[in-house]
Structure 1
Amino acid sequence: MEPVRRILDGRRADTVARLLDAALEEVRAVDYGDLTVRSVAKRAEVSPATAYTYFSSKEHLISSVAWRKMQDLTASFADGASLQKLVRGITDVFAQEPELSRACTTALLADDPEVARLRDQMSAEVTRAFSGALSELSPTARASVEMAFVGGMVMAGQGYLTFDQIADRLAALVKQLRPATAARTRKR
């Protein structure tokens, strides 16, 4: 999917960074329902028209904040980092930013082409990061762990479990999948 809005270099990149920083400040200060692209633009000291040049909606803006945090985090992990370390790193971000977590739970489900593009990028990044940690599992088993992770993030974002519980539950799932994978490998 070709992105509708492109983030460019130089002054434009600085404007986007200011908007993303302002969005994080705004989501900490107001309920997500009260957050608007206009209020973020005001906080960033740019015009609403400028903000809409880069972000199609508040959902796109908040999803972009989450994407930036995920990129920063996953870039800090070496290939082959343990699943526990990866998951705890990601979940710690959201545990430390409960307002962002609640906003992302709603924003990432939006029917907006830009949000869909970011969801796809986040999914690809999770797949890339998890592939090294789960290399001994079959592709189907890896996909199951990734799906469980995403489901766990949604459940934690809605308050049904804590972010700390996600890593422990995924570790238990992987433990169950590893013997099954090893047994299939021995039978071949």
Structure 2
Amino acid sequence: MSELTSTGVEATRRRLTEKQADTVDRLTASAVDVLSREGYSGTTIRLVAAAAGVGTATAYTYFSSKEHLISEVFWRRLIATPEPETDDSDPATRVVAVLRQISMLVADEPALASAVSNALLGDDPDVQHLRVRIGREIRHRLAVALGEQDRARLSMLELLYSGALLQGGMGLLSYEEVADVLEVCARRILTDPGS
């Protein structure tokens, strides 16, 4: 297992020294800047590396593809965001808080939001690794909020979340609309005794 980097985020490909962690931090920050200027299709590892002030070959030692880099940006944002704190006794309210928080994670950055949807669908092994980690983290947060061992409802919530975010990533819904749809559907799932 990798060490924690300077930002408190595990490296996905290798153990990092402080200097290497700084390079990865610069690459992930630059990826967001390049995406906002160039869009997903125009973003390349070469452009991100140049913006970060590192060589392209160096960037490739940390990220196997732009999809891997973009997925890493989302992973870092997700784990840097603390779980919503709510003392509400209603599981639906707690679940909605989790779903809304995650769905709004990149809502203010449309280029990044769209890129994340594209990147996470990639078949790069490093992306697959991050997709599993992201899925586990979201599942954990939903399970804690749900507060019960109801695997069927938990699975429904996971499918609801992934489908709604895909709709947002494709531009069919705004991320605020995604959050609203998630709330309505989650409340229905959690209050319907037949679910």
The aligned counterpart of 1:59 is: 67
Once the two structures are TM-superposed, the CA of residue 31 in structure 1 deviates from its matched residue by 1.9
The aligned counterpart of 2:179 is: 167
The aligned counterpart of 1:18 is: 26
Mark the CA change 1:88 to 1:4 in structure 2 (over 3 Å): closer, same or farther.
closer
Mark the CA change 1:4 to 1:95 in structure 2 (over 3 Å): closer, same or farther.
closer
> Which consecutive residues of structure 1, in runs of 5 or more, have no partner in the other structure?
none
The aligned counterpart of 2:166 is: 154
> Which consecutive residues of structure 2, in runs of 5 or more, have no partner in the other structure?
3-10, 89-93
Alignment of 1:59-98 (within 5 A): 59-73=67-81, 75-78=82-85, 82-98=94-110
Q: Please, which of 144, 155, 159 is the counterpart of residue 143 of structure 1? A: 155
- Within 2, Cα distance between the matches of 1:79 and 1:121? 24
1:30 aligned counterpart, secondary structure: helix
**What per-residue deviation string (whole Å, max 9, x for no partner) do you get for residues 72-104 of structure 1?**
11x353487822222222222222010001111
Mark the CA change 1:178 to 1:109 in structure 2 (over 3 Å): closer, same or farther.
closer
Alignment of 1:40-59 (within 5 A): 40-59=48-67
Mark the CA change 1:179 to 1:32 in structure 2 (over 3 Å): closer, same or farther.
closer
Once the two structures are TM-superposed, the CA of residue 137 in structure 1 deviates from its matched residue by 6.6
RMSD of aligned residue pairs (Cα, Å): 2.3
**What per-residue deviation string (whole Å, max 9, x for no partner) do you get for residues 105-149 of structure 1?**
111111100000000000000001111221247211111111110
- Within 1, Cα distance between the matches of 2:120 and 2:23? 23
Alignment size in residue pairs: 181
The aligned counterpart of 2:120 is: 108
- 8 Å Cα contact 1:141-1:177 kept in structure 2: yes
Once the two structures are TM-superposed, the CA of residue 5 in structure 1 deviates from its matched residue by 2.0
Once the two structures are TM-superposed, the CA of residue 178 in structure 1 deviates from its matched residue by 3.0
> Structure 2 length normalisation: TM-score?
0.84
- Within 1, Cα distance between the matches of 2:60 and 2:138? 28
- 8 Å Cα contact 1:63-1:118 kept in structure 2: yes
The aligned counterpart of 1:132 is: 144
> Structure 1 length normalisation: TM-score?
0.86
- Within 1, Cα distance between the matches of 2:29 and 2:58? 15
Flag the structure with higher helix content.
1
